[in-house]
Structure 1
Amino acid sequence: MVVGEFTQDVDVVVIGAGPGGYVAAIRAAQLGKKVVVVEKDEVGGVCLNRGCIPSKALISAAHHYEIMTHASNIGIQAEGISIDYGKVQEWKESVVKKLTDGVSSLFKGNKVERVKGEAIFVNEKEIRVVSGYEGSRYRFNHCIIATGSRPIELKPFPYGGRIISSTEALSLKEIPKTMMVIGGGYIGIELGQTYAKLGTKVTVIEGLDSILPGFEAEMSRLVTRNLKKLGVEVYTNAMAKEAKQTDHDITVTFTTRNNEEKQITADYVLVTVGRRPNTDEIGLDAINMKMTDKGLIEIDHQCKTSVPNVYAIGDIVPGPALAHKASYEGKVAAETIAGHPSAIDYKAIPAVVFSDPEIASVGLNETEAKEQGLKVITGKFPYAANGRSLSMNAGDAGFVKLVANQETGLLLGGQVVGPEASNLIAEIGLAIEMGATLEDIALTIHAHPTLGEMVMEAAEGALGQAIHQINRQIK
């Protein structure tokens, strides 16, 4: 029984305090709205607490360990290197706490009220928030739904025991000796490769014909190469069938591309086959919300749903499940509510995988551009010809590639594979957003020696003006 229920009137209710919800709440408050954020778990959502941030902290730790264990390659002899995984986990949690405390401070500074509990729609103007035995109601003028997503659970592999999701994988008390990863998407590859660097024997099985679906083969091949260097076994066109657990390990039966049945025993099985939108427990039926057949909320160009005063953002709407996409949509929704002429435009939203090497893409790749009937010109520059890359001992890492309209030179997209790809992609995204051409990029002076020079060099190559590589014939 819920007791102590009262009703409060507010301008905007935001359901969910993840990277979409907290950004939307802060922006709406900055624009003069009285805002309440309802969050049942931690401020920062999955991203800050169980996703983006803790995973990158572990990736960073594994990267530092790998550098030290291979320091002899550049003449540095290091002995007695070991891992205190308990301290690694403590450090990871300290990073998470700094950021979540920061969000709480931003709420306070922007006069955003945070309410802990589960929100359920009563009608199109009111929600009920339940926390334990206490409850309250909020009447709102506008509502922004930002409830995020959760890992998809496979029926033959229910979470529990030695079958874990990314959440549990980020909080293991010790480094496992062996691990099987079901799903070769970005989460599976990031975590699988991280544990492989820490000494775990990792096996990855992916149902499609290559890992990292959605990225061009020339990009994923370099990640596959490094996985093999780490001793990671990768099975593509493979299908996991069943698992048998004991107190000490778990054995997975799966079929390979040749329909051959195999079994592998590991300490843990990490299932990373996608995420499911959290739209099933907030009472959307009560307001007749229009949904897709995948449980996503349909929105227009301003994040408005079929219910006029209700907006939706992030993983619960169509499009890639990216934290920065959610934050972007959160600002659009808040500004629209405040009467600003904001609208979503996805043409320059980057996608990044913090694998080794890192891969990043923004705009159209060459295949997508050609599928749209565009005549394109490309420029590609290798890390192997970049002075800064060689000085970082990363000369075999990858490339920067630009895709442009052949007739106008207008930049359509770019892809980067190699160290700092996640940072290099920002310049390319800005160029697309501003309508820059290959000539604009080529004429922009880049500092030397930097990795950023490769963007300029790729543009020069596309124009047939390459200096540090042989110019190809432009047809």
Structure 2
Amino acid sequence: VTTVRGLGQFIDAHHVRVEETSGSGQDKTGAAKVVKFKSAIIAAGSQAVHLPFFPKDERIVDSIGALELKAVPKKMLIVGGGIIGLEMGTVYSTLGARLDVVEMLPTLMTGADRDLVKVWQKFNAHRFDNIMLNTKTVAAEAKADGIWVTFEGEGAPSAPQRYDLVLQAVGRTPNGKKIGAENAGVIVGDRGFIPVDVQMRTNVPSVFAIGDIVGQPMLAHKAVHEGHVAAEVCAGEILGDDKLKKSQFDARVIPSVAYTDPEVAWVGLTEDEAKAKGIAIEKGLFPWTASGRAIANGRDEGFTKLIFDAETHRILGGGIVGTHAGDMIGEIALAIEMGADMVDIGKTIHPHPTLGESLGMAAEVAHGTCTDVPPPRKAR
């Protein structure tokens, strides 16, 4: 394997020109190299969106800058109520910062079921001075004593607010328009995404693409599996291996995790989506107040929820809120991939006492056979 470090631009469908760099940043050395390839995989990723009205100031950071902790701010604003902002807010709050969060949508952590988020929000209420929903950030001014930010909307304060640190966490934009893809004939969408087929191949047969640059969700674990597919197809074509050449990305579901405290994880169909689409479901919810392990840990605020098809009883999705939720969500993803039903999951023996056994318990709740929680009251 030959590694060439630098800034790459396609010349055509079989050549890339690389301006070599050195040091810890992107300092160009002045040297350039042309690399010829039979197949190429674009994995150029994405970068954080920067709002145009924010001035350039070291006290205004994105998710990367937030990791370069120079001092703990007394007052911090998180612009964007999604996963990244709330994760970073958890870290800074634990270190002592007071938090405000502003979100233009009516809810935090969009994508997860509201009942999951409510548990997280109640547990973390002490971290926040203000949660401004249905509110936009419209202006910012850097002064000696801090960053003064102006808001508009339902939760907006009447006057600009001062912050020691502002985190921009309003999403990411793909780098599709920064690599000269058009020189290779590769189609790039208006927003910078590169369309691919199930083999991760672009419209140009010799060029593949994976990761953030091919579309949502922008998650590392999705990108890794896409990378495997692209590499296998490329290897199969070079080696003449028909099995590798037929490799496809055919995941049914991709789990999402908010690494907050408590963690929030979900996969597949959510209960909110089912209601919006009119899909008939059966739900099994196991509260961690009935989990011996959660009680012993002193962290029984969470729950495990499984969503099943009302007719076939096969699992469609699930969500977990609580400590180590992200470590357990993979079992639900596997169950969906395998087409498991509530009996399959409920009769799988989970070790006791663990948090993971809440998955089996939730399936039993849906099936009506769980002896670890009181039966639901029948409507009169």
TM normalised by structure 2 equals: 0.91
Q: Secondary structure at the match of 1:280?
A: helix
How far 1:153 sits from its partner (Å)? 0.7
Q: Is the 8 A contact 1:142 1:310 kept in 2?
A: yes
**Separation of aligned partners in 1, 2:100 and 2:58:** 19
How far 1:226 sits from its partner (Å)? 2.5
- Determine if the alignment matches structure 1 residue 402 to structure 2 residue 291: no
How far 1:373 sits from its partner (Å)? 5.1
Tell me which residue corresponds to 2:197.
Answer: 300
**Separation of aligned partners in 2, 1:116 and 1:262:** 48
Structure 2 gaps of 5+ residues are 21-28, 237-243
Query: Structure 1 counterpart of 2:364, which letter?
Result: E
Where has structure 1 moved over 6 Å in runs of 4 or more? none
How far 1:192 sits from its partner (Å)? 1.1
Q: Structure 1 pair 308/473, CA: closer, same or farther in 2 (3 Å)?
A: farther
Residue of structure 1 aligned with 2:124, choices 204, 217, 227: 227
Q: Structure 1 pair 433/414, CA: closer, same or farther in 2 (3 Å)?
A: same
- Determine if the alignment matches structure 1 residue 118 to structure 2 residue 16: no
TM normalised by structure 1 equals: 0.74
Tell me which residue corresponds to 2:86.
Answer: 189
Residue of structure 1 aligned with 2:19, choices 130, 155, 158: 130
Residue of structure 1 aligned with 2:220, choices 323, 328, 332: 323
Tell me which residue corresponds to 2:210.
Answer: 313
Q: Secondary structure at the match of 1:305?
A: coil
Residue of structure 1 aligned with 2:294, choices 374, 389, 401: 389
Q: Is the 8 A contact 2:188 2:195 kept in 1?
A: yes
Query: Structure 1 counterpart of 2:18, which letter?
Result: V
Structure 1 gaps of 5+ residues are 1-111
Q: Is the 8 A contact 1:256 1:262 kept in 2?
A: no
Query: Structure 1 counterpart of 2:124, which letter?
Result: L
**Identity of matched residues, %:** 40
Q: Is the 8 A contact 1:464 1:472 kept in 2?
A: no
**Separation of aligned partners in 2, 1:370 and 1:332:** 34
Alignment of 1:33-52 (within 5 A): none
**Separation of aligned partners in 2, 1:231 and 1:368:** 28
How far 1:162 sits from its partner (Å)? 1.7
Q: Secondary structure at the match of 1:295?
A: coil
Q: Is the 8 A contact 2:176 2:188 kept in 1?
A: no
How far 1:213 sits from its partner (Å)? 1.0
- Determine if the alignment matches structure 1 residue 442 to structure 2 residue 331: no
- Determine if the alignment matches structure 1 residue 379 to structure 2 residue 276: no
Q: Is the 8 A contact 1:360 1:425 kept in 2?
A: yes
Alignment of 1:209-228 (within 5 A): 209-228=106-125
Query: Structure 2 counterpart of 1:446, which letter?
Result: H
Say how many residue pairs are matched. 363
Q: Is the 8 A contact 1:380 1:399 kept in 2?
A: yes
Deviations 1:440-473 (A, max 9, x none): 1111111111001100000000001111112337
**Separation of aligned partners in 2, 1:191 and 1:466:** 38
**Separation of aligned partners in 2, 1:249 and 1:422:** 36
**Separation of aligned partners in 2, 1:159 and 1:328:** 37
Query: Structure 2 counterpart of 1:354, which letter?
Result: Y
How far 1:258 sits from its partner (Å)? 5.8
Query: Mean Cα displacement is larger for which, 410-419 or 339-348?
Result: 339-348
Residue of structure 1 aligned with 2:165, choices 268, 272, 276: 268
Which has the larger share of strand? Answer: 2
Q: Is the 8 A contact 1:196 1:232 kept in 2?
A: no
**Separation of aligned partners in 1, 2:11 and 2:190:** 23
